[in-house]
Amino acid sequence: MAYVTYACNGNLRKINKNLTDQMVKALDEGYTVLETLGYKIIPATIANLFKGGRNKFLMYIFLKIYALTPIPKLSDPTKGSFPDETNALTKGFKDLKKKANIPTPNWDALESHIISKKNINK
């Protein structure tokens, strides 16, 4: 979600179906990385919800509604101390992706938005 927020320049109201599609596929890739390394996803229904890029439209509708609430402004990863947290999580997950040695093209594409905005080390 942080990468998508960066892709929208901090304004989730700008999200579109292509970005949502990429986000759902990236979620599937992220769960696949964790499962490949032996991490158990709890609850399993979360990972299964997005397997194979399913439920893209549902996610799009959810994000459109979510963007209308005040919550995104309270948890904007582009503001306050959140960029440091996002930076640390990005670096940590890069290590996991490297260990899993599986392609994550959608994750990488979304991650490029935050890297370009915050110059996170690759």
Digit-coded pLDDT (tens) for 66-117:
888 887 777 666 665 566 777 888 899 999 999 999 999 999 998 887 765 5
Structural domain count of the chain: 1
Residue 9 phi/psi, 5-degree rounding, is 55, 40
Q: Is 85 domain-assigned?
A: yes
Q: Is 122 domain-assigned?
A: no
Q: Is 88 domain-assigned?
A: yes
Q: Is 58 domain-assigned?
A: yes
Residue burial 3-37, b: 16+ Cβ < 10 Å; e: rest:
bbbbbbeeebeebeeebbbbbbbbbbbbbbbbeee
Report the alpha-carbon distance of residue 55 to residue 49 in Å, rounded.
7
Share of the chain above pLDDT 90, in %: 24
Q: Which domain holds residue 21?
A: 2-116
Residue with tokens 């990972």: 47
Report the alpha-carbon distance of residue 38 to residue 59 in Å, rounded.
27
